[in-house]
A and B are shown apart, each in its own frame.
Chain A
Amino acid sequence: MKKLKFIGNPLLQSREKINMSSDKKWLTLKTTEDNEEFVVEESVAIMSNVIKNMVEDGCASSVIPVPRVKGNAMGKIIEFCKKHTEESDEKVLKEFDAEFLNLGPDALYDLMVSANFLEIKVLLDSVTTKVADMIKGKSSEEIRNILKIENDLSAEEIEESRRENCWTRQE
């Protein structure tokens, strides 16, 4: 059974009511990996440059297929875009982002890949900043532990790299 998610007025029950209700334009985004559909306002959807271009070029039909992004990631992304479209207070947005991005590394990567693919600059900036903050001030060993990265550099390579780093001026 197709799952239909309404991101908007929780009182409305059906797609017909949404279409009749306002002069806002609505789009349906369908994640092709797991066939989840999301009905969103166009103003929210076009925070993604990819979708914006499709709409402007007139290629967007009633249902826009979105590959590579899974349903639950899409839901989160739409939640983010909606907040950023509705709210203009910087402070409120900052608090929202901090709360929103309070996720583990894997979840953050998922968001990052999707934001990069959909070209949502604001989200990409926020997530990359968050990941960068996680590794600031940490040694390479600590970074590998936090982000679960396998060390494929040999001891010699690390030593050589460190030695070379000393040759150059600290900038």
Chain B
Amino acid sequence: MDTIARDTTTSILHLPDDCLYFIFQRLESVFDRKSFGLTCHRWLFIENTSRRSLQFPCSFRHLHRTSLSRTSSTVGSFQLYTMLDRFQHLELLCLSGCVHLPDSGLSQLQYYGSKLQTLYLDCCFGITDDLGSMTDDGLSVVASGCRSLKCISLYRCNVSSIGIEALAKSCRALEEVNLSYCPLITDTGIRALSQNCHQLRAVRISSCRNITGVGFHGCPRTFVYLEADSCKLETEGITEIVSGGGLEYLNISNLNWAVPGNGLTIVGAGFAKRLKLLDFRLCRTVTDESIIAISRGCPLLQEWNLALCHEVKRPGWESIGLSCHKLERLHVKRCRCLCDRGLQALREGCRNLLILYVTRCRQLSDPAIMIFKCLRGDVKIIEEEVMCIAPEWAFSG
């Protein structure tokens, strides 16, 4: 029975925008959303204003089976201009892999970037911050147009500390910043982030050879994640890195030889009490003194990668066994000075250990490993090397 239809003259034209948005939101497939948009002007408007994220096929952030076979189309300024003009309420924009995109391509962000929260510019080699002029370069457009930005990724971009400073002073809500392989960045840029972005959570500076770490002075307590592998950090720098008191994940693997072995002792001095994951892989000079301090000073440690840390000897292993009560995963691959007594100390301690990554430790005998397996059946022994222990609660977008 359709009594209503007889009396009413309501048609689709009378529906308020609210209702159209509700209907649109119920459409999950790309096909349906695109069909919706191509129905009439008003529905196209609804589609355009509902869109919250935009990615291009050349983007490799989310590598997909089909994207590998597709020839990478060049995304130029025109395409980006058109897209930003059409979708004016974006919260996520992924331009990673748009290697030819110039600074001018980002100009629309001045007008339509105010809601943007996440911006990926990985390998956008054309984006710069021109040290001479502060007005036209890509990064200053981002700084002035995208003040709600929370997450930015500039992997392999030609940007320097000046651009980062401008960004930090304008985008104060920044939480996650990826500056890996940006060789021009120095401590000045890092300092700008530490002191202006009070919600700073996660930073990546892998292979940034000009950062010593002193720029992290004044970093907020919200700073929980740092990936600084293959950097030339200095002892003072490491002190500043832990000074915020909130760090939970620290990766300083492949630390330059310039840091003396006991330079890492400061990590155990009390500031890094919340540390849960620590990656010292290839820190060849880290000494027992540092290991002992850290095992005592970081009671929440759950995972510790000490692969190729050749200077850790029996006192170090004993300290880990004795003090690392929460340790669940330990990596000791190719540690030259892990001997049978050291393994025994680990076996008799570390009550919560779940996984031991061990292989090619030349001082370890097979019987010692057999005894470990027998007496600690609760611990899984894995020989394959795990290169990355980064948690997923940052940079996961």
Q: Which residues of chain B (18-65) have a CB below 8 Å from chain A?
A: 18-19, 22-23, 26-27, 29-32, 34-41, 43-44, 53-57, 59
- Verify if B12 is at the interface (C-beta below 8 Å from A): yes
Q: With a CB–CB cut-off of 8 A, which chain A residues contact B11? A: 105-106, 109, 148
Q: With a CB–CB cut-off of 8 A, which chain B residues contact A162? A: 38
Q: Which residues of chain A (64-117) have a CB below 8 Å from chain B?
A: 70, 72-73, 76, 103-107, 109-113, 116
CB distance from A138 to the nearest CB of B (A): 6
Tell which of B11, B23, B41, B53 has the most Cβ of chain A within 10 Å: B23
Query: Could you say which of B8, B27, B31 contacts A106, with CB atoms under 8 Å apart?
Result: B8
Q: Which residues of chain A (120-171) have a CB below 8 Å from chain B?
A: 124-125, 128-129, 131-133, 135-140, 143-144, 147-153, 158, 161-162, 164-165, 167-171
Contact (Cβ within 8 A) A104 B27: no
Least CB separation from B3: chain A residue: A72
Q: With a CB–CB cut-off of 8 A, which chain A residues contact B23? A: 128, 131-132, 135
- Verify if B16 is at the interface (C-beta below 8 Å from A): yes
Stretch at the interface among B75-83, B150-158, B320-328: B75-83
Count the B residues whose beta carbon is within 8 Å of the partner chain — how many? 47
Q: With a CB–CB cut-off of 8 A, which chain A residues contact B5? A: 103-104, 106-107
Query: Could you say which of A104, A106, A140 contacts B35, with CB atoms under 8 Å apart?
Result: A140
CB distance from A154 to the nearest CB of B (A): 10
- A73-B4, A132-B26, A153-B41 known; A167 and B15 CB under 8 Å? no
Query: Could you say which of A76, A103, A109 contacts B15, with CB atoms under 8 Å apart?
Result: A109
- Bound CA span A149–B30, Å: 21
- Bound CA span A106–B9, Å: 7
- Bound CA span A120–B233, Å: 60
- Bound CA span A109–B16, Å: 10
Contact (Cβ within 8 A) A107 B15: no
Q: With a CB–CB cut-off of 8 A, which chain B residues contact A72? A: 3-4, 7-8
CB distance from B314 to the nearest CB of A (A): 54
- Bound CA span A135–B3, Å: 24
- Verify if B274 is at the interface (C-beta below 8 Å from A): no
Q: With a CB–CB cut-off of 8 A, which chain B residues contact A107? A: 2, 4-5, 8
Q: With a CB–CB cut-off of 8 A, which chain A residues contact B15? A: 109, 112-113
Least CB separation from B87: chain A residue: A168
Contact (Cβ within 8 A) B39 A143: yes
Contact (Cβ within 8 A) A116 B35: no
Contact (Cβ within 8 A) B56 A113: no
Q: Which residues of chain A (31-83) have a CB below 8 Å from chain B?
A: 70, 72-73, 76
Least CB separation from A151: chain B residue: B40
Q: With a CB–CB cut-off of 8 A, which chain B residues contact A136? A: 27, 29, 32
Contact (Cβ within 8 A) B14 A167: no
Contact (Cβ within 8 A) B32 A137: yes
CB distance from A8 to the nearest CB of B (A): 20
Q: With a CB–CB cut-off of 8 A, which chain B residues contact A165? A: 34
Q: With a CB–CB cut-off of 8 A, which chain A residues contact B19? A: 109, 112-113, 116, 124, 128
- Bound CA span A70–B4, Å: 9
Please list the 6 inter-chain residue pairs (A to B) with the smallest Cβ-Cβ separation, ordered nearest first. Answer: A132-B26, A140-B38, A169-B55, A107-B4, A128-B22, A110-B10
- Contact surface of B with A, Cβ cutoff 8 Å: 2-5, 7-12, 14-16, 18-19, 22-23, 26-27, 29-32, 34-41, 43-44, 53-57, 59, 67, 73, 75, 79, 82-83, 86, 94
Apart from A72-B4, A109-B10, A109-B11, what 16 extra A-B contacts exist at CB < 8 Å?
Answer: A103-B4, A105-B12, A106-B9, A109-B19, A116-B19, A124-B22, A128-B22, A135-B23, A138-B32, A138-B35, A147-B12, A153-B44, A161-B44, A168-B55, A169-B57, A169-B67
16 contacts between A and B (CB under 8 A): A72-B7, A73-B4, A109-B15, A112-B15, A113-B14, A113-B19, A132-B26, A149-B12, A153-B38, A161-B44, A164-B83, A167-B57, A167-B83, A168-B55, A168-B57, A169-B59
